[in-house]
A and B are shown apart, each in its own frame.
Chain A
């Protein structure tokens, strides 16, 4: 006979505000359903309004944990990356967001935590930040999480790729957790930092091959190396756009188009056959 094992919520005993900001936060049914609704809505809008195209979906690992590293020039970047992942991972996907911005007020913190499932990283907190990153690393490993990280630290104001900060590397240094370099194109044109609405510009997401940093030591030099490698990979992705590696919806639409064409051809032949038959009748 097995003993009963209770595993209380890791964030039990935290006030709502503390829970929103805690890396111990766990999803419940309500946030799960809300997140699904949000994800479906965002995907539909991105597909219709921004003609979202995703290349390299085959590079996604079969199972979490993994870390997605991408360039950052728009608020759209987070939702684009989240919508590229399977909906069944919605409770595991957590964008690492600036705490001083996304968790500044209780309503915004509630939205960031419940809907986006974001986890705060507090900028300009030197001692505390290292401790927080340690907690985030623990969550990544123990809870099989997926992190979306923008190592530039903030949105690019000119649309260009800037230097990567090495803080994110503490999450993966010395582990076998895959890091996926991703390149976002078009999100700056669709929603630059000063814009308040999304413009109907095409967005392309390129997902690169996963890298691991198992042999890289978990210290400052190792972190810098990881940051440099990740940046190089993201830059390298900018030239890899290939019409052969299209997003599955595009494939679906192609299939639909082919089906329509095939049906038309089939009908035309049948009608011709019928006409021929009719002509043969006395």
Chain B
């Protein structure tokens, strides 16, 4: 491994080289610092009920460590991002497997675990072709692995759930690690994570303010058309604003391309949310986990993220050329 690759994977001294990283991290810290004051003020003015006050406090406390877990690896280096992404993928898949009952199929769960590990290795190695091939290879192994059990009952269900779980929570979320191979990965990842998370908040707030027609009442009774459109407008504006600085001087620097990127993130963020809502309704559970106080499980918090990373990666690669092509390739395997 040469010094350039080492610096890219573990170099934390360059964490604040890009102005967008500085602004975004400062903004996030300021928001986290101000949030308790706002919650306290709203409570004192009787704008919010004691139950909501308690709920907001729980959410704020969770956001403290969630922010550290999301921003920390980005600042520390690309390798930490890839590790964090693999861990997040595994946690999300485990929740999905526990909710669907797939966790009882140990061979399939083991193959998905190996698949997520291999995706992580492909990311660290910066071996794009290996990463892309793992979707088909892992799906094939999932289909094969339970054959020796000689148990055709439920074959289609367990294999389908295994492949769906791997593709949504391993392969799709794993693209965040692939993006970390780009030289400007820090502002790019912050843009993706911030816009996806704020997209949720925009939809919630606009929906609460304007109300109106439900979007898909059977899948997610809380979501409204107004909230969805509001999130689309606000997230696109946010992405366009941040993108102007991140992509300045590149083919993505024009308003039209940034508008497309913003719409893509907002739309797919909302669709990811709806996909997980549909899964939860089908299973008849409210939350898929309980590990994040006030939010539910990992998938309840990161549901909007499942479709966005591959779309953003391929969109940017289409517009700018393959991401990370100016960085060392196949760091571990050579060739």
Instruction: Tell me the A residues contacting B by CB distance below 8 Å.
Output: 2, 4-9, 12-16, 26, 28-29, 32
Contact = CB atoms under 8 A, between A and B. Distances in A.
Interface string B137-179: 0000000000000000110010000000000000000000000
A262 to B, nearest CB: 37
Contacts of A29: 103, 106, 109-110, 113
A28 B290 contact: no
Contact of A14 (B99, B104, B109, B290): B290
Contacts of B97: 28
Given A28-B109, A29-B110, A8 B290 contact: no
B22 interface: no
Contacts of B153: 2
A32 B110 CA distance: 11
A28 B94 CA distance: 9
Contacts of A2: 153-154
Contacts, number: 43
Nearest to B290: A15
7 contacts: A5-B157, A6-B282, A8-B101, A16-B291, A26-B104, A28-B103, A28-B109
B249 to A, nearest CB: 47
Contacts of B157: 4-5
B40 interface: no
Interface of B: 94, 97-101, 103-104, 106, 109-110, 113, 153-154, 157, 282-283, 285, 287, 290-291
Nearest to A16: B291
A270 B103 CA distance: 59
Nearest to B90: A30
Contacts of A6: 99-101, 282-283
Given A4-B157, A6-B283, A29-B113, A12 B98 contact: yes
Contact of A13 (B109, B110, B285): B285
Given A29-B110, A29-B113, A12 B103 contact: no
Contacts of B94: 28
Given A8-B285, A16-B291, 14 more contacts: A6-B99, A6-B282, A8-B98, A9-B99, A12-B98, A13-B285, A13-B287, A26-B103, A26-B104, A28-B109, A29-B103, A29-B110, A29-B113, A32-B106
